[in-house]
Structure 1
Amino acid sequence: MNKKITVLPGDGIGPEVVQSAIEVLNSVAKHYNHEFEYTYAKLGGVAIDEENTPLPEETVRLCKQSDGVLLGAVGGPKWDTLPGHMRPEKGLLGIRKELNLFANLRPVTAHESLTGSSTLKSEVINGVDLMIVRELTGGLYFGEPSERRQVNGEEAALDTMIYSRSEIERIMRQGFELAKVRRQKVTSVDKANVLESSRLWREVAIEVGKDYPDIELEHMLVDNAAMQLIRNPKQFDVVVTENMFGDILSDEASMLTGSLGMLPSASIGSGGPGLYEPIHGSAPDIAGQNKANPLATIASTAMMLKYSFGMVEEADLIDAAISKVLNDGHRTGDISNPGEATLSTTEMTAKVLEAIEELQAVKN
């Protein structure tokens, strides 16, 4: 197969971890006779510096013409004082909207070999395997009006939380479809005891659930869900929730694995290219130091192969290589225990490439 990939290195450690991911993609392409064509574009802080906008029109055009989009990271303190419409994160929200990427998939799998890297007890996290499905184009992040105004003679700020029935239905169906090929359980997370938008969310979840009689549906308030993720994460299979709740819960869930540097994500829509990115930030404090953990970005490419290109075997190879590297005891600084030797970004990438070669040699 020949596939076009738009690469958005972004800010901070983004270019470093993206380079690692491309090296892994090239290795997979070699073994399976694929050809990946890469086109680079700007997004986030680097686009602000060079194009005076967080999302240049050329970036949108290139992304829409591709088969998949690979993103590193955006943002950093350098741009924190800019007005809201000019911040790097606005570029990320914008490209999601432009590509109609309404569903963000964030798998959370606890590797037994990384038990010591988590702050939780091993008996709590061993065996965790859940998928957070976050609605991505609605809610507080996109609701209008969103503005500063004068209220009773003083400055106030307003954000709008809004969801339509169709927006809720399509994200719920995404969750139920995933549950069909997993452990057949959906947990819908809301705040229906307080928010009218959540009451509509729960009503629609129940309606959609009737079309999936073999799938267990439970409802959980977001504050309880935050607690249960730490108390008993193994109870979850597929968690479906709105934009802001999903943003918070998925970052919390990342610590089950020991580090934000371990979690990939896929943002998908209906028919167009998907966007694949690690959920960690730009980590400007270590940018350019060859210290970043590339595994989440590498795992994100596996999701691209699976969900956008239909290359399931190739995706499984990358996931198996990551597991082998971790089981062999290789660590970057963010997932190491005190006294353990650590690898640089390029060294960890080399270990993954070696594992791919070894696994292919066994297979052949």
Structure 2
Amino acid sequence: MNKKIAVLPGDGIGPEVMEQAIQVLRCIEKKFNHQFEINFAHVGGAAYEKFGSHFPESTKFVCQKADAILFGSVGGPISESHLAKWKDCEKNSILSLRKEFQFSSNIRPAKVYPELKDICPLKDSIIKNGIDIVIVRELLGDVYFGEHRTFIENQLRKASDLCEYNEKQIETVAHQSFKIALGRNRKVTSVDKANVLDTSKLWREVVAEVGKQYPTVTLEHMLVDNCAMQFFINPSQFDVIVTTNLFGDILSDAAAAFPGSLGLMPSASFNENGFALYEPSGGSAPDIASKNIANPIAQIMSLAMLLRHSFELVEEAQCIENAIQKTLQAGYRTSDICIDKEKAVTTEQMTQQILYFM
């Protein structure tokens, strides 16, 4: 197989964990006789330094010519957020990418590895049946893209944010969630606030219509406040969750607590044509950048998702996932997932063990 991958390392820990993912990709090439064309491009603060833009035209061109995008992270220290290099960095880079390529669905798995159950904040009695959830979040609608107003009315400051959805937006993300469920435990939980919001009433109606096209998948509807509670009293009941942009933003961040570290959380964003961007769910973590202590697993798992979903290389993706599992079973831990910090391995050491088990 010969495919083009746009690689955007970005800022902070992005370049160092991306380097580890590329080593894993090269191993896959050799092991399975593939050839991938890797084209690096600048994004975020790194791009601003060179081009005066967080998402320059040259980077856009590289992404347009690629079969998939592997993204690192962007952003700098909070104390420097007022500087031009970092001001609106995330908005101008990752949000611009989403808009440019119309990424409409965000896929974020949340899994508790049995070997790491001690760092999960939930009680053993709650996680005994395992936690393995995929959250599918709509990305192009909701209050994020509606009209935003701040104004004075009757001598009082007032603000409004318009939440809008059309049926096409809902259909797209609903199909994505049902297709994912077909390859898992065939259950979709659609999360909304249909007892209050008209957008949620439309959401529930359209998801139900799409669900009829997938008769082997069980569909249930759940109000978002109940879902937030169920997350922490019975998370094992969930398989695939599909929800709106706002609710998905909140719930996926809450689900990030299950594994015990953002360093274990990959994600993917798809457009309607199947083109996708893959990235770790955590940020650029500038406080630990260049210290060789960042956890590379989320970036490597993002690569595995790329191989599985964009290139349909299931065996290759499983090879990476199995190697990560074996590495954790063997007791290797970076500092973010290590209870005894003195026994933590480095970024590079963690990757070397993963490569060993591949």
Structure 1 match to 2:81: 80
One-letter amino acid of the counterpart of residue 73, structure 2: A
Structure 1 match to 2:42: 42
Structure 2 match to 1:14: 14
Say whether the 8 Å CA contact 1:133–1:239 is kept in structure 2: yes
Q: Given the superposition, is the C-alpha separation of residues 199 and 23 from structure 1 closer, same or farther in structure 2, using an over 3 Å criterion?
A: same
Inter-partner Cα distance in structure 1 for 2:87 and 2:216: 45
Q: Given the superposition, is the C-alpha separation of residues 37 and 197 from structure 1 closer, same or farther in structure 2, using an over 3 Å criterion?
A: same
Inter-partner Cα distance in structure 1 for 2:22 and 2:159: 42
Structure 2 length-normalised TM: 0.93
- Please list the CA deviations of residues 45-72 of structure 1 after superposition, one character each: whole Å capped at 9, or x if unmatched: 3233433332222222211110111111
Structure 2 match to 1:139: 142
One-letter amino acid of the counterpart of residue 131, structure 1: V
- Please list the CA deviations of residues 309-354 of structure 1 after superposition, one character each: whole Å capped at 9, or x if unmatched: 1111100000000000001010001111136610111111111111
Say whether the 8 Å CA contact 1:11–1:44 is kept in structure 2: yes
Structure 2 match to 1:341: 343
Inter-partner Cα distance in structure 2 for 1:81 and 1:192: 40
Say whether the 8 Å CA contact 2:335–2:341 is kept in structure 1: no
Q: Is residue 199 of structure 2 the alignment partner of residue 197 of structure 1?
A: yes
One-letter amino acid of the counterpart of residue 80, structure 1: S
Inter-partner Cα distance in structure 2 for 1:86 and 1:240: 29
Q: Is residue 129 of structure 2 the alignment partner of residue 130 of structure 1?
A: no
Say whether the 8 Å CA contact 1:3–1:35 is kept in structure 2: yes
SS in 2 for 1:255: coil
SS in 1 for 2:286: coil
Q: Given the superposition, is the C-alpha separation of residues 32 and 136 from structure 1 closer, same or farther in structure 2, using an over 3 Å criterion?
A: same
One-letter amino acid of the counterpart of residue 48, structure 1: Y
Inter-partner Cα distance in structure 2 for 1:112 and 1:338: 18
One-letter amino acid of the counterpart of residue 338, structure 2: S
Give 5+ residue unaligned stretches, structure 1. Answer: 357-364
Q: Is residue 31 of structure 2 the alignment partner of residue 31 of structure 1?
A: yes
SS in 2 for 1:285: helix
Q: Given the superposition, is the C-alpha separation of residues 49 and 222 from structure 1 closer, same or farther in structure 2, using an over 3 Å criterion?
A: farther
Inter-partner Cα distance in structure 2 for 1:268 and 1:199: 25
Give 5+ residue unaligned stretches, structure 2. Answer: none
Structure 1 length-normalised TM: 0.92
Aligned-residue sequence identity (percent) comes to 49
The alpha-carbon deviation at position 284 of structure 1 amounts to 1.3
One-letter amino acid of the counterpart of residue 262, structure 2: L
The alpha-carbon deviation at position 154 of structure 1 amounts to 5.5
Inter-partner Cα distance in structure 2 for 1:269 and 1:131: 17
Q: Given the superposition, is the C-alpha separation of residues 92 and 342 from structure 1 closer, same or farther in structure 2, using an over 3 Å criterion?
A: same
Range that drifts further, 219-228 or 162-171? 219-228
Inter-partner Cα distance in structure 2 for 1:261 and 1:274: 21
Structure 2 match to 1:251: 253
Inter-partner Cα distance in structure 1 for 2:58 and 2:158: 36
Say whether the 8 Å CA contact 1:45–1:79 is kept in structure 2: no
Inter-partner Cα distance in structure 2 for 1:132 and 1:41: 29
- Tell me the number of residue pairs that the alignment of Structure 1 and Structure 2 aligns: 355
The alpha-carbon deviation at position 122 of structure 1 amounts to 2.5
SS in 2 for 1:280: coil
Q: Given the superposition, is the C-alpha separation of residues 222 and 52 from structure 1 closer, same or farther in structure 2, using an over 3 Å criterion?
A: farther
- Given the alignment, which residue of 250, 275, 281 partners 1:273? 275
- Please list the CA deviations of residues 116-149 of structure 1 after superposition, one character each: whole Å capped at 9, or x if unmatched: 1111122322421111111112222222x23544
The alpha-carbon deviation at position 232 of structure 1 amounts to 0.8
Q: Given the superposition, is the C-alpha separation of residues 292 and 68 from structure 1 closer, same or farther in structure 2, using an over 3 Å criterion?
A: same
SS in 2 for 1:266: strand
Inter-partner Cα distance in structure 1 for 2:37 and 2:87: 32
The alpha-carbon deviation at position 82 of structure 1 amounts to 6.8
